[in-house]
Protein backbone atom coordinates (compact mmCIF):
# COMPACT_ATOMS: atom_id res chain seq x y z
CA UNK A 1 0.00 0.00 0.00
CA UNK A 2 1.32 3.45 -0.93
CA UNK A 3 0.66 6.38 1.41
CA UNK A 4 0.15 9.66 -0.36
CA UNK A 5 0.93 12.84 1.57
CA UNK A 6 -1.24 15.89 0.99
CA UNK A 7 -0.09 19.45 1.35
CA UNK A 8 -1.84 22.75 1.90
CA UNK A 9 -2.85 24.46 -1.29
CA UNK A 10 -4.45 27.87 -1.48
CA UNK A 11 -6.95 28.95 1.16
CA UNK A 12 -8.60 25.59 1.81
CA UNK A 13 -8.65 23.35 4.87
CA UNK A 14 -6.61 20.28 3.94
CA UNK A 15 -8.73 18.07 6.22
CA UNK A 16 -12.17 18.66 4.74
CA UNK A 17 -11.58 20.72 1.60
CA UNK A 18 -13.77 23.63 2.77
CA UNK A 19 -12.56 27.17 2.32
CA UNK A 20 -10.58 28.80 5.12
CA UNK A 21 -11.08 32.56 5.47
CA UNK A 22 -8.30 35.11 6.10
CA UNK A 23 -9.08 37.48 9.00
CA UNK A 24 -7.03 40.06 10.95
CA UNK A 25 -6.73 39.73 14.73
CA UNK A 26 -7.81 42.92 16.50
CA UNK A 27 -7.65 41.84 20.13
CA UNK A 28 -6.41 38.85 22.11
CA UNK A 29 -8.78 37.47 24.74
CA UNK A 30 -8.32 35.03 27.61
CA UNK A 31 -8.52 31.29 27.07
CA UNK A 32 -6.89 31.10 23.64
CA UNK A 33 -9.51 33.30 22.01
CA UNK A 34 -9.30 36.48 19.93
CA UNK A 35 -11.48 39.05 18.23
CA UNK A 36 -10.95 39.22 14.49
CA UNK A 37 -11.93 41.64 11.75
CA UNK A 38 -13.60 39.60 9.01
CA UNK A 39 -13.99 42.51 6.62
CA UNK A 40 -17.73 42.55 7.28
CA UNK A 41 -17.66 42.69 11.07
CA UNK A 42 -15.95 41.35 14.18
CA UNK A 43 -16.02 37.70 15.21
CA UNK A 44 -14.63 35.76 18.16
CA UNK A 45 -12.28 32.97 17.07
CA UNK A 46 -9.95 30.47 18.69
CA UNK A 47 -6.21 31.02 18.29
CA UNK A 48 -5.26 28.06 20.48
CA UNK A 49 -3.53 26.20 17.62
CA UNK A 50 -1.37 29.08 16.38
CA UNK A 51 1.00 31.69 17.79
CA UNK A 52 -0.66 34.88 16.59
CA UNK A 53 -0.82 38.44 17.82
CA UNK A 54 -2.78 41.61 17.26
CA UNK A 55 -2.51 42.71 13.64
CA UNK A 56 -1.61 39.25 12.32
CA UNK A 57 -3.68 37.74 9.53
CA UNK A 58 -4.73 34.14 10.11
CA UNK A 59 -6.66 31.56 8.13
CA UNK A 60 -9.81 30.54 10.00
CA UNK A 61 -11.88 27.45 9.46
CA UNK A 62 -14.92 26.74 11.66
CA UNK A 63 -13.92 29.61 14.02
CA UNK A 64 -10.47 28.04 14.56
CA UNK A 65 -7.29 29.78 13.35
CA UNK A 66 -5.35 27.09 11.49
CA UNK A 67 -2.39 29.10 10.18
CA UNK A 68 -0.75 32.52 10.41
CA UNK A 69 -0.39 33.84 6.88
CA UNK A 70 0.98 37.31 7.61
CA UNK A 71 2.62 38.84 10.68
CA UNK A 72 1.83 42.42 11.64
CA UNK A 73 5.49 43.37 11.87
CA UNK A 74 5.14 45.08 15.24
In a domain, 16, yes or no: no
Split into its structural domains, the chain has a count of: 1
- With cut-offs at 50, 70 and 90, classify the pLDDT of residue 6: very low
Mean pLDDT of 12-41: 87
Residue at 15 is within a domain: no
What was the pLDDT predicted at 48?
97
Binned at pLDDT 50, 70 and 90, residue 73 comes out as: confident
Residue 1 lies in a domain: no
DSSP letter for each residue of 23-74: EEEEEEEGGGEEEEE-SSSEEEEE-TTS---TT-EEEEETTEEEEEEE----
- pTM, two decimals, is 0.76
Say which CATH number the domain at 42 has. Answer: 2.30.30.140
Domain, as residue range, for 62: 21-70
Residue 31: per-residue pLDDT: 97
Determine, yes or no, domain membership for 36.
yes
Q: Give the per-residue pLDDT at 55.
A: 98
**Is position 38 within any domain?**
yes
Amino acid sequence: MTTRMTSCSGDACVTCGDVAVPVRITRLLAGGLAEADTGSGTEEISVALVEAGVGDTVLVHAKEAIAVIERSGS
